[in-house]
Chain A
Amino acid sequence: MTIYKHELLRGRKAFIIWTGVITFMLAVCIIIYPEMKSEMEGMNEMFASMGSFTAAFGMDKLNFGTLIGYYAIECGNVLGLGGAFFAALTAIEIICKEERVGTAEFLLTHPQSRTRIITEKLLSVITRVVALNVVVVAIMALSILVIGESIPWSEMLLLHAAYLILQIELALICFGISAFIRKGGLAIGLGIAALMYLFNIIANITDSVKFLSYITPYGYCDGATIISEGSLDAVRILIGMAISLFCVAAAYATYPKKDIK
């Protein structure tokens, strides 16, 4: 697992920064919850009367007055975007950076098969994504205890499971793309994460493009649905996993035969 360890070591700074920022922002949201709670009734009415904007962010179905309702909205905004960007950026660079930086020649002239190399790289990406989410959940639970609320474990873990699956899906898609490209990874990674987020907003606003919610992983991360149904949308997750596995398979089929420049 030399390459796996090497990748974790190389990516530690980015991991610490992203985890720190996301955790800090979410913790702040929790810490200010008691103060916000008293003003929630008025806010609920305000959020419920913003038309399409309300639906776009799922605020028509969630009650800001409850901790889990508030948590689902904040989690969606911070972890939904921050975690997705981290996963996409980590994965999109994982293979192509070797050619971009010029280290591919060094790495690929050592006795390690390309399949093994990309497998260890993929595992390092998944490890970082999972670790980020574990840290976030732990700090969130702690923050909730600090403000004197009881932890709504089942809803909270379901929400985090959805966001973890979303991040892994985006990571796998970006990993697949990384095997094909040499440059421009960061722009593509950010673009994919942002586009998926946008797809979900558009699908929430109008029913005519509802199908987009089946393409974007944000489609199965709707906090209101998860909390009210107490389960994740298996169909959307399966579609997402199918897309991800296709991208990973494409990487495994292509990279071992790719000419390295």
Chain B
Amino acid sequence: MKAIQTENLTKSYGKARGIVDVSLTVEQGEWFGFIGPNGAGKSTTIRTLLGLIFPTSGSARVLGLDVVKQKNEILSKTGYLPSEATFYPGTRVKDIIKFSADLRKKDCSKEAKELCDRLQLDTSRKVDELSFGNRKKVAIVCALQSHPELLILDEPTGGLDPLMQHEFFEIIREHNKEGATVFVSSHILPEIQHNCDRAAIIREGKIIACDNVEALGNNNAKKVSIRGDVDLTGLEGIKHDSTEGGTRSFLYSGDISVLIARLASGSLTDVSITDPDLDEIFMHYYE
């Protein structure tokens, strides 16, 4: 059984694009990254998986269950952390956390207390008084306190300071080690690079790449940095060519031997050819 499996999942909003033929497979216990800029279709995909919106065509199964017909069973096993958490005005943090547990028909008071302590969350405050980051912490507690089998995290670290981000990923790592599948959507690429086993990149509603995080970086493109004079005119496969502080940098996806020959013909004081990081790969996919 797959944790998430979509086949040609499509959601249209009238004439506006949502997602088109999204086919994804996430294994159980996996930590899967979902990368794309704002408006690419990440949230639409997540909202379809959670049954907030309904697919126009295609199918999606979460933990082996159909997202349309078995939504409740899916939600009982899934914890969701939204990118922007909104709660009932005038309610205290402890009441929101208790309400969330009650909706799951579970007593999660022990887990909730532990999470609140680790995230340094004051449960006596009203949600209206909380900063964006503290509201995020409330949402984290609500999503994790029932120890769900699947965690769907949408832009999870927004508003959290670096120390809290570290603690948050520690908590997620513990849940993952206990067997929880983690599906995280983000445009903060180091988060994906450092934590995920595999990732998919979505662009304009379509999946354009899905592979191991290492393999996504290993797409024949190299990051080249040079200092000195060399004529690269007419060389095919150069992207993101920029010069800063006398160092010229670009991504190269052409024949590496042709590049080396051209570099050798110039007068260079320094050369480095490395694998690009995910940020640069991401830009590569998006150009």
Contact = CB atoms under 8 A, between A and B. Distances in A.
Given A101-B89, A103-B86, A111-B104, 8 more contacts: A2-B102, A6-B99, A108-B52, A109-B80, A111-B76, A112-B75, A257-B54, A259-B52
A260 B53 contact: yes
Interface string A105-118: 11111111100000
The 7 closest A-B pairs by CB, nearest first: A102-B86, A111-B76, A110-B103, A111-B75, A259-B53, A2-B102, A109-B80
B143 to A, nearest CB: 9
A102 B85 CA distance: 8
A110 B85 contact: no
Interface size class of A (residues with CB under 8 A): 20 to 34
B82 interface: yes
Contacts of B142: 106
Given A101-B88, A103-B87, A105-B86, A111 B54 contact: no
Interface of A: 2-3, 6, 10, 101-113, 257, 259-260
B72 interface: yes
Contacts of B104: 110-111
Contacts of B89: 101
A111 B72 contact: yes
B103 A112 contact: yes
A260 B11 CA distance: 13
A105 B100 CA distance: 12
A113 B72 contact: yes
Contacts of A2: 99, 102-103
A111 B52 contact: no
Interface residues of B, number: 28
A168 to B, nearest CB: 26
Given A2-B102, A2-B103, A10-B88, A112 B54 contact: no
Contacts of B54: 257, 259
Given A111-B76, A111-B103, A106 B52 contact: no
Contacts of A110: 75, 100, 103-104
A105 B82 contact: yes
A259 B14 CA distance: 12
A2 B86 CA distance: 19
B152 to A, nearest CB: 9
Interface of B: 47, 50-54, 71-73, 75-76, 78, 80, 82, 84-89, 99-100, 102-105, 139, 142
B183 to A, nearest CB: 14
B88 A112 contact: no
A223 B32 CA distance: 68
A68 to B, nearest CB: 42
Contacts of A111: 72-73, 75-76, 103-105
A154 B104 CA distance: 47
B139 to A, nearest CB: 8
Q: Which of B71, B72, B88, B139 counts the most chain A CB atoms within 10 A?
A: B88
A111 B63 CA distance: 15
9 contacts: A2-B99, A6-B99, A105-B82, A106-B86, A106-B142, A111-B103, A111-B105, A257-B54, A260-B47
A10 B105 CA distance: 20
A104 B50 CA distance: 12
Nearest to A104: B52
A107 B100 CA distance: 8
Nearest to B106: A111
Nearest to B100: A110
A10 B99 CA distance: 12
A109 B50 contact: yes
